[in-house]
Amino acid sequence: YWFQDAKFGIFIHWGVYSVPAWAPVGVQYAEWYWSQMQDPDNPTYAYHRQTYGESFAYDDFIPLFRAERFDPRSWVELFRDAGAQYHVLTSKHHEGFALWDTKVSDRNSVKMGPKRDLIRELFDASRRYTPELHRGLYFSMPEWFNPDHPWEGHAPRNPYTLEPVPYTGHFAGQDYIKDLQAPQMLELIEGYDPEILWCDIGGDNDSHRVLAEYFNHAKNRARPIEVTVNNRSGIGPHDFTTPEYTTYDSVVTAKWEASRGLDPRSYGYNRATPDDKYMTTEEVIHSLVDIVSKNGNFLLDIGPRADGTIPEIMERRLRETGEWLKVNGEAIYGSTYWARMPQLGEDLRFTVRPEKAFYIHSLTRPGSTLTVEAPVPVRPGDRVTLLGHDRALSWRTTGGSLVIDVPSAARASGRHVWVFKVDWRS
């Protein structure tokens, strides 16, 4: 139930790929650097050769992933200030590098790189300083170049010479599913108590058994917690679907969550992206309102640098989103979609807090009147306000439309999205 009400979360893509941190802007995922450098026709192939040289293997980035400026408290307090209700960290991306002290592989952040359990540090800080936030973990089901079960079809190799290279920290001769994938998922479940398990890619798996353990572990704790899993664990059962860099066009009554980066086309940090290519605060808030009006959650991604710092442009966008949510969050958190319609034209969206209020979101600055040509559930005596402007607004119904008078002081009080509230309790 908490996931239904939370609406807004922060995705964090952070790993060895945060060292090269490069992709053609707006075209490719920077976190797919290792995969993309295999293809002679991909710009990453030429970029890597020119920048690092043909003999520099991807795993040579591991010692450069140091996280030396990682301050988990500042991260979680930023997420809280952004108005997020949960955060989801990449525990292991397709590169196979784990951000915790996994016992089934030395390819992890405790044995190499930062020499720190990054998940433990983030979760400990979250529980201590922002206990109101819910904590989740992303987990890639396959690994691109794991020699025992390579998703790319081959073990690691030099893309220029095609000679084999080591898969650093790997325990050779494992059954990938039985000895690595499933045990790692269980380590995360039993050792970190994630409230979201955000799997990716699917493919071969032992997910029926692992997810049964996930739900049983949550239920059998001294203090049971509600947990949820997405639709990418490789099996049918799931709690929510996960479109990425896109959304659904209309209400989807089965729960869903849209994710995308602040970057125009990357979850991981891309050093090539200029500040003016990131989402604007208005775009973030418009996306959030649109998604929530259609029964979705918005998982907005940031890509920290390899040293653990969050780029200033990303921090600024999160803080500005949080300022808007401080005023207008009641129309987002705990709301649901309007069964008649989620939107009217390009400019209006609707949400409902059952038994409490009806909300009209104007994505453009209203004029002296706002006309809503829809059967808005408003009754004589209901109080209509603009969030952030406490005075009641005069209103009337004309020919099946709601017409609200919006004085200049009310218009001036809003920004990005203007939210009108029909208070059913008045």
343-423 folds as: Immunoglobulin-like (2.60.40)
Q: Domain map of the chain by residue range? A: 2-331, 343-423
Q: Which amino acid is at 364?
A: T
Give kind and range of the element (H or E) at residue 344.
strand 343-344
Using DSSP bridges, classify how beta strands 357-362 and 348-353 pair: parallel, antiparallel or unpaired.
antiparallel
Question: Which residues have CB under 8 Å from 380's CB, separation 6+?
Answer: none
Task: Measure the CA–CA gap between 266 and 364, rounded to whole angstroms.
Answer: 28
Give me the mean pLDDT over the 255-261 stretch. Answer: 98
Q: In the beta sheet, which residues pair with residue 140?
A: 200
Please give the backbone phi and psi of residue 385, each rounded to the nearest 5 degrees, phi first: -135, 165
How would residue 425 be classed by pLDDT, with cut points 50, 70 and 90? confident
Give me the mean pLDDT over the 174-183 stretch. Answer: 98
CA–CA distances in Å: residue 52 to residues 37, 60, 374? 12, 10, 60
Give me the mean pLDDT over the 339-345 stretch. Answer: 97
Which one, of 94, 88, 65, 62, lies nearest residue 75 by Cα? 88
Judged against a pLDDT cut of 70, whether residue 183 lies above it is answered with: yes
pLDDT above 70 coverage of the chain, percent: 100
pLDDT at residue 426, as a whole number: 64
Task: Measure the CA–CA gap between 36 and 50, rounded to whole angstroms.
Answer: 15
Judged against a pLDDT cut of 80, whether residue 373 lies above it is answered with: yes
Give me the mean pLDDT over the 114-134 stretch. Answer: 98
Cα 336 from chain centroid (whole Å): 20
Q: Tell me whether domains 2-331 and 343-423 share a fold.
A: no
Give me the mean pLDDT over the 234-262 stretch. Answer: 98
How would residue 99 be classed by pLDDT, with cut points 50, 70 and 90? very high
Q: In the beta sheet, which residues pair with residue 419?
A: 361
Question: Coil, helix or strand for 42?
Answer: coil
Which one, of 368, 378, 85, lies nearest residue 360 by Cα? 378
pLDDT at residue 5, as a whole number: 98
CA–CA distances in Å: residue 416 to residues 106, 373, 385, 412? 47, 22, 17, 11
Judged against a pLDDT cut of 80, whether residue 236 lies above it is answered with: yes
Question: Which residues have CB under 8 Å from 216's CB, separation 6+?
Answer: none
How would residue 269 be classed by pLDDT, with cut points 50, 70 and 90? very high
Task: Measure the CA–CA gap between 146 and 151, rounded to whole angstroms.
Answer: 8
Question: Coil, helix or strand for 270?
Answer: coil
How would residue 390 be classed by pLDDT, with cut points 50, 70 and 90? confident
Residue 41: CB atoms within 10 A of its CB come to 6
Give me the mean pLDDT over the 260-277 stretch. Answer: 98
Orientation angle between helical segments 312-328 and 281-293, nearest 10 degrees? 50
pLDDT at residue 105, as a whole number: 98
The 10s digit of each residue's pLDDT in 126-164 is 999 999 999 999 999 999 999 999 999 999 999 999 999
pLDDT at residue 354, as a whole number: 94
2-331 folds as: TIM Barrel (3.20.20)
Round the average pLDDT of the chain to a whole number and report it: 98
Q: What is the DSSP letter of 204?
A: S
Give me the mean pLDDT over the 344-368 stretch. Answer: 97
